[in-house]
Amino acid sequence: MSEAGIAGRVAFVTGASSGLGARFARVLAAAGARIVLAARREDRLDALAAELRGEGVETLSVTLDVSSHTSIQEAAAKAEKTLGPIDILVNNAGISRQARIEDVTEQDYDELMGTNLKGAFFMAQAAARQMMAHRVEGRIVNIASIAGLRPLGQLATYSMSKAAMVQMTKSMAREWGHHGINTNAICPGYIATEISEDFVETEAGRRLLASLPRRRLGEPRDLDGLLLLLCAGEPARFINGAVIAADDGYLSF
C-alpha cells in the first residue's frame, strides 16, 4: 500500500513543524513522496527538512500562515514552481482554545476559525486548482476531529470549526470528484502529542483516560495506515467524501 500511487508524488503537509503534521510528513516520505513542509515555525521546519533530505527525500520547506490567503497562494505557487503541482494535500494545520462559550472573545473566535476553517478551505482550493490545471488525480485529506462529530466540553468554537470541516470535505468531494480529486477527512480521537503530554497528568486528564475504551491515548502512528490509504492512488480510487473517525471506539460509548 505504501507505494501505491504515493511514490514520486508531491505531498504538501500543513502544520508540519510538529505533532501529527511532522508524523504525516515522515510517513509519506517513507512511502516515496516528495514532501512540501509548511508551517509558521521556520526553525522546526528546517530541522525536519534536513532530517528528510538526509534520508534522500526530495523536500521543500515553505513558511505558511494558513489564516492568510496571500500566504497560502505564495506557498502553493512556490511548491508548484519547485517540485511541480501538488498531488496530495494533508490539511493538518489547526489550533484549539478551551473556554466556556460565554468567555470566548471575538479575537479568539476569529483566530481559531481563520486557522481551522478558512485556512483549510483556501489551502484545499489552491491545491485543487493546481490538480485541475495539470489534470492530476489528486488526494486531499482534511484532518478534522471527533469534536466535529460530537461537541466536547468548553471547546465550542473548536467543535464548530471541525464540524464545518466535515461538511466542507463532503462538498469538495461532490464538486471535485469528476476531476479525479478525492477529498476525505480523518477525525482523530485523543492522540498523544506535545499538547496532550501535560494535560494527561492533571486530574481532568486522568478522568479523560478513565473514560477511554482502552484507558490510554492513541499514538500518532495509529493514524499511519489510514493516512496512507486515503493518499494512495488505485486503492483509494472509490473513497471520496468519507469522514472516518480514528478514535479507538470512543464515539461508540
Among 109, 158, 190, 250, the one annotated catalytic:
158
Quick one: angle between helices 19-30 and 224-231, nearest 10?
60
Report yes or no: 188 and 230 within 8 Å, Cβ to Cβ.
Answer: no
Report yes or no: 92 and 230 within 8 Å, Cβ to Cβ.
Answer: no
- CA–CA separation, 109 and 105 (whole Å): 6
* Phi/psi-derived region of residue 84, left when phi > 0, alpha when psi is between -120 and 50, beta in every other case: left
- CA–CA separation, 117 and 134 (whole Å): 26
Whether 158 is catalytic: yes
Q: What is the three-class DSSP state of 117?
A: helix
Beta-carbon contacts of 118 under 8 Å, excluding residues fewer than 6 positions away, are: 66, 67
* SS3 of 86-98: CCEEEECCCCCCC
Q: What is the three-class DSSP state of 177?
A: helix
CA 178, 122, 92, 37: dihedral to nearest 10 degrees? 100
Which residues does the annotation mark as catalytic? 158
